[in-house]
Structure 1
Amino acid sequence: MTSIDALMRSVPVIPVLVIEDVAHAEPIARALVAGGLTALEVTLRTPAALEVIRAMRQVEGAVVGAGTVLNPRDLDAALQAGAQFIVSPGLTEPLTRAALDRGVPYLPGVANSADIMRGLDHGLDRFKFFPAEAAGGIKALKALAGPFHQVRFCPTGGITEASAPDWLALKPVLCVGGSWVVPAGLPDEAVIRRSAEAAARLRAA
């Protein structure tokens, strides 16, 4: 099992996926992997999410995680479905302890210094900065990075294809989370692949 640091460094953009129909899972995963985005976050926001994780795990090259994990019950359900990493919008004691006990790569959400300090108390130093734009944007992240020089982030929330390069240019940012890569509606594999290819090039831009 890869570390959360290695996962964050593997792609410049982690697609944040809200998928209603499990039939869309494999086409979307195939297109994203073909475009160079291999780390996929399936949010637990739909009734189909756990089945979507199972389906995407069948796609060669896909590293499939669960997002919007809120508690240990969500965590265990995601792991049973085959999730290879866990993303949460916040940082709580019960969920953090459960993730550490299970030994799963874990990316909790933080928005301020207190969140980060609680994470550091648990030995964590890789976080999702969420909601990135609403929590103060690049200016806020730069301010947080000063006292927490060892911490690295995956900003998520409100980031677009246009703004992603500005975030990725920051030293504390290893990757960003983005929902723009997969347009809503019926999946068009060619369109998604082109979008993924563009996102995969952002780090070099």
Structure 2
Amino acid sequence: MTADLTAVLAGGRVVPVLTVRAPATAGPLAEALAAGGATCAEVTFRTPDAEQVVKAMAAHGGLAVGAGTILDPEQAERAVAAGAAFIVSPGFDEDVVAKCRELGVPVVPGIATATELMRALRAGLDTVKLFPAEAIGGLRALRSLAAPFPGVRFMPTGGIGVDQLAGYLAEPSVLAVGGSWMATPAHLDSGAYAEIRRLTAEAVEVGGR
């Protein structure tokens, strides 16, 4: 049975989206995010060591760690084997969805149009990633898609910063918001974990209002 995404996120409405180049930073990163109040995080599969990063962060215990930028079923399988609690994809792919169902993990496919959303609904999904959210129209696009599909929950991601966060979270259709500004590769390269903690706490505070 596939776990429910809401339960996996444990009430977290802000999902830090992470591109981590060095596995050695995974432990301190997880500590900084958890100290800032995050309950979940998404590790993108854009780096060679993404599996090790997922494994290290999942072992920390303070976060539900998902895998993002999953493009095919084989990646999904490797991510879950590494400890990913949920899967996020930039687009909708039937084979990725089927593999995640087989593995019993929630999957959040990306959609940018009503046609893609209808395909996701036909596949039995009720939560999707609006991506790239800001580039395709931001809140106006979200509201336009939510109106004819009242049962759908969205996780907008892409180009969103703290200044846009409250507006998205105020929408009834939004389950959570993904964003990369809280922990960038530059933060990790410079060891700016205190700043990561501060930015995460700021975002979590907005999410709790």
- TM class by shorter-chain length? over 0.9
- Mapped to 2, the partners of 1:146 and 1:7 lie a distance apart of 26
Aligned to 1:24: 25
Where 2:124 maps in the other structure, the secondary structure is coil
CA contact (8 A) 1:24 1:186 kept: no
Aligned to 1:156: 157
Aligned to 1:13: 14
Aligned to 2:93: 92
Question: AA paired with 1:195?
Answer: L
* Alpha-carbon offset, residue 97 of structure 1: 1.3
Which stretches of structure 1, 4 residues or longer, exceed 2 Å deviation after superposition?
5-9, 185-189
CA contact (8 A) 1:39 1:63 kept: yes
* Alpha-carbon offset, residue 188 of structure 1: 2.3
Aligned to 1:204: 208
Question: Which range moved further: 58-67 or 4-13?
Answer: 4-13
Aligned to 2:59: 58
Aligned to 1:144: 145
Q: After the TM superposition, which residues 125-204 of structure 1 pair with which residues of structure 2 at under 5 Å, given as runs?
A: 125-183=126-184, 184=186, 185-204=189-208
- Mapped to 2, the partners of 1:36 and 1:8 lie a distance apart of 12
Where 1:163 maps in the other structure, the secondary structure is helix
- Mapped to 2, the partners of 1:2 and 1:204 lie a distance apart of 24
* Alpha-carbon offset, residue 96 of structure 1: 1.3
* Alpha-carbon offset, residue 2 of structure 1: 4.6
- Mapped to 2, the partners of 1:9 and 1:117 lie a distance apart of 27
- Mapped to 2, the partners of 1:161 and 1:76 lie a distance apart of 32
Aligned to 2:123: 122
Q: Which runs of 5+ in 1 are unaligned?
A: none
* Alpha-carbon offset, residue 102 of structure 1: 1.6
CA contact (8 A) 2:17 2:44 kept: yes
Q: Deviations over 1:56-94 (max 9, x none)?
A: 112121111100000101101111111111000011111
Aligned to 2:38: 37
* Alpha-carbon offset, residue 9 of structure 1: 6.2
Q: Deviations over 1:115-155 (max 9, x none)?
A: 11111111100011000011221101101111100001010
Q: How many positions carry a matched residue from both structures? A: 205
- Mapped to 1, the partners of 2:26 and 2:10 lie a distance apart of 24
Between the aligned residues of both structures, percent identity stands at: 45
